[in-house]
């Protein structure tokens, strides 16, 4: 899909089905077994959701040591996905930089973990 082209319109109710939450990265480590360079993340979404795992292809713009404590946004209601030997439980969200590489997105200031995007 061309990232500059608009997607087909959807109903607001369809958007509300996607549960995007904020969480804090509590662990990060390289994921050399992944087909494409990636980092394994553990993200704390607080109370009801807890800590979830994610594989993120973010190695071009993010270093493992800089991720701890960073708040990120992730889709928490997709089914888990097996990525090599790792089960990814949430989809960590980002946007492309000028070269098309992933830049993580998150709040500008600290917010409570588990908050839902609206």
pLDDT band, residue 12 (cuts 50/70/90): very high
Report whether pLDDT(2) > 60.
no
CA distance 84 to 88: 10
User: What would the pLDDT profile of 76-86 be if each residue is shown by its tens digit?
Assistant: 999 999 998 99
Report whether pLDDT(14) > 70.
yes
Q: In terms of CATH, what superfamily is 17-104?
A: Nucleic acid-binding proteins (2.40.50.140)
pTM of the model: 0.92
What are the extents of the domains in the chain? 17-104
Contact (CB, 8 A) for 86 and 33: yes
Report whether pLDDT(74) > 70.
yes
């Amino acid at each position: 899909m061309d990232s500059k082209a608009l997607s087909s319109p959807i109903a607001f109710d369809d958007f509300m089905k996607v549960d995007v939450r904020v969480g804090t990265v509590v662990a990060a480590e390289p994921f050399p077994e992944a087909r494409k360079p990636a980092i394994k993340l553990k993200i704390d979404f607080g109370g009801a959701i807890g800590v979830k795992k994610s594989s993120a292809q973010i190695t071009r713009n993010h270093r493992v040591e800089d991720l701890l404590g960073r708040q990120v946004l992730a889709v928490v209601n997709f089914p888990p996905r097996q990525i090599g030997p790792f089960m990814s439980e949430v989809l960590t969200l980002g946007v492309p930089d000028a070269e098309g590489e992933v830049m993580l997105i998150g709040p500008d200031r600290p917010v409570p973990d588990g908050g839902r995007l609206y």
